[in-house]
Amino acid sequence: MRPVLIPGNIVKGDWRARTAGQLASLAVDAAHSRSHLLGEPLAVAGIEWACTLTATTLPEGHAYPRLHSALDGLLQAIELAPAARGWAPSMARYEALLLSELGYGGGDPAKFEGTDGALKTMAANRAALIAHVLGDRRTDILAARERLVDRLKRAVA
C-alpha cells in the first residue's frame, strides 16, 4: 500500500457526518500517487517546493484556476521527465505565474529557456517571493527552495 497524503498526490475525499451533533469524518483515497518518486531526491525537492509555495502563499477560499492547472502540469512534468532539464523551466514559470496571479509581476518568459535560464529566473523570483509573498514566513519554507536549487545546480553541473 502506497502512502496517500504526501505532497504531489491527487486525492479524493469523502466527507461524512452521521448527525448534526457528531464530528464529521473524512475518508481519503489516492486518485493518482506520486509516491514512486520518493526515492528521487531531485523530484522530491521539486514537488516539495511547488506544493509548499502553493500551500503557504495562496489565501484560502480563493480560486486560482490558472495556478491549479499550472501546478498540475508542473507536477506531471516532474513525474514524467527523466531529468530536471525537462521541468526546471516549468518551475521558474510556475513561480513567476504565482507572483503574477498575486499581483506582483511575472518575469520575462524568454528567461525561462533551459535549465541555466530557469536557475537565473528562479534567482530573480526569489527576491520577489521574499519581498512580496513570503514575508515573515520565508525562514520557514525557503529551506525547501534552497534544497531544490542546490540539487538543480548539481544536476546540470
Q: What pLDDT, on the 0 to 100 scale, is given for residue 112?
A: 64
Q: What whole-number percentage of the chain has pLDDT above 70?
A: 92
Is the pLDDT at 67 greater than 60? The verdict is yes
Q: What residues contact 112, with CB distance under 8 A and at least 6 apart?
A: 89, 92, 93, 96, 118, 121
**How high is the pLDDT of residue 70?**
96
The full DSSP string for 28-43 is EEEEE--GGGTT-HHH
Q: Which three cell numbers stand for residue 121?
A: 529566473
pLDDT in tens, 23-45: 888 888 889 999 889 899 999 99
**pLDDT value at 60 more than 90:** no
Is the pTM value of this prediction over 0.85? no
Confidence of residue 140 (pLDDT cuts 50, 70, 90): confident
Q: CA-CA distance, 121 to 115, in Å (whole number)?
A: 10
pLDDT score at 139: 65
**32, 84, 118, 52: CA torsion to nearest 10:** 40
Residue 66's pLDDT is what? 95
Mean residue pLDDT of the chain comes to 87
Q: What CA–CA distance (Å, rounded) separates 126 from 131?
A: 9
CB 43 within 8 A of CB 79: yes
